[in-house]
C-alpha cells in the first residue's frame, strides 16, 4: 500500500477538485504527503476543499479555456513548484439521442472531457519528462471502455482519453513518467445525482427506480464511492506503481473487465 509519506515533496494538481471524485482524490493524495492544488471554476468549493484539509492550495480557471489553464498552471508552478502529479478529473456528461446530438453538444463534451485533458497534459508532461519523474492520471469512465446509448459524444470523448493515455504511455515510457487512466462506473457524485434528476424530469420515474436502472449493470449492485476511485488514483501515483503504465483501470464492480 502507498505509505503516508510516499508522495512527500511532490506537487499534485487535481482539476475539478472542488467536489466529488476530485475532492476525494485531493484528500487521498494529501494523506500520502503530496502538496495538492485543486483547480476549478467555483472558488467557494475549492476554498472549502482547502479549508477541510484536503488540499494545500487552489486555483480558479476554466479548463476548457486554454489561456486560463496555461496562466493558472504557470502561477502554480511559480508559487509551489512544478507539477509532479496531474490528475485530469474535470468532466461532465450530457445525454441525448444521437439524432438530437447537435454540434454544440458534441463540442462541449469533446472540449471538456478530452480537449481539456490534452491541454493540461501538454502543459505539464514535457516538464515531468525533463525532470525524470511524473504521473499523469486521467479520470476517464467505463464509457471509455464500452458504449452506452444516448451519450455518444461523452463515450467518444472518454474513449479518446483512453487512447491518448495509451499513446503517451508508450511515448514517455523511458522518461520516468507513467500515464494511466482510471475508469469509474456510476459513482455517487453530483454528476449522477444530476443525471437522476434529469431523467426524472423527462420520464416521471422515481429517483429510486432510476438509480436501480443505473446500477443494474454493476454486479455488486451499487454505486461506486468517490473514495474508491481516489484510492486507485493514489496507488497509481505512488512509487510502487512505477511499472504500471498505459492502463485503463476500471473501478466498476465488474461491470467491465
What gap in Å lies between CA 27 and CA 34, rounded to an integer? 10
Q: What is the DSSP string of 66-101?
A: HHHHHHHHHHHHHHH---SEEEE---------GGG-
Q: Which residues contact 38 (CB under 8 A, 6 or more apart)?
A: 14, 17, 18, 22, 23, 26, 46, 49, 50, 54, 55, 57, 58, 59
At 214, is the secondary structure helix, strand, or coil? helix
Angstrom distances, CA of residue 193 to CA of 117, 198, 208? 24, 9, 11
Of the residues 118, 148, 150, 154, which is catalytic? Answer: 154
CB distance 234 to 168 below 8 Å:
no
> Is position 150 annotated as part of the catalytic site?
no
Residue 208: partners with Cβ closer than 8 Å, 6 or more residues away: none
158: cell is: 472518454
Residue 23 and residue 1 in contact, taking contact as beta carbons nearer than 8 Å = no
Distances in Å between the alpha carbon of 136 and those of 39, 88, 169, 212?
15, 8, 9, 34
- What residues are annotated to the active site? 154
Amino acid at each position: 500500500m502507498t505509505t503516508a509519506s510516499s508522495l512527500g515533496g511532490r506537487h499534485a494538481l487535481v482539476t475539478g477538485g472542488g467536489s466529488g471524485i476530485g475532492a476525494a482524490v485531493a484528500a487521498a493524495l494529501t494523506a500520502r504527503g503530496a502538496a495538492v492544488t485543486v483547480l476549478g471554476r467555483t472558488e467557494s468549493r475549492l476554498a472549502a476543499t482547502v479549508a477541510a484539509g484536503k488540499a494545500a492550495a487552489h486555483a480558479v480557471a476554466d479548463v476548457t479555456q486554454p489561456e486560463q489553464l496555461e496562466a493558472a498552471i504557470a502561477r502554480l508552478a511559480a508559487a509551489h513548484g512544478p507539477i509532479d502529479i496531474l490528475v485530469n478529473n474535470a468532466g461532465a456528461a450530457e445525454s441525448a439521442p444521437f439524432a438530437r446530438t447537435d454540434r454544440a453538444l458534441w463540442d462541449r463534451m469533446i472540449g471538456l472531457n478530452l480537449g481539456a485533458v490534452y491541454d493540461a497534459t501538454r502543459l505539464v508532461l514535457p516538464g515531468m519528462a525533463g525532470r525524470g519523474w511524473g504521473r499523469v492520471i486521467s479520470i476517464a469512465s467505463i464509457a471509455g471502455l464500452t458504449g452506452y446509448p444516448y451519450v455518444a459524444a461523452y463515450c467518444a470523448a472518454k474513449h479518446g482519453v483512453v487512447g491518448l493515455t495509451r499513446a503517451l504511455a508508450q511515448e514517455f515510457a523511458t522518461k520516468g513518467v507513467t500515464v494511466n487512466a482510471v475508469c469509474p462506473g456510476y459513482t455517487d457524485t453530483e454528476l449522477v445525482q444530476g443525471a437522476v434528476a434529469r431523467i426524472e424530469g423527462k420520464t416521471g420515474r422515481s429517483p429510486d427506480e432510476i438509480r436501480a436502472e443505473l446500477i443494474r449493470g454493476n454486479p455488486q449492485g451499487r454505486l461506486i464511492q468517490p473514495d474508491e476511485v481516489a484510492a486507485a488514483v493514489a496507488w497509481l501515483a505512488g512509487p510502487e506503481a512505477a511499472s504500471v503504465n498505459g492502463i485503463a483501470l476500471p473501478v466498476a464492480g465488474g461491470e467491465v473487465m
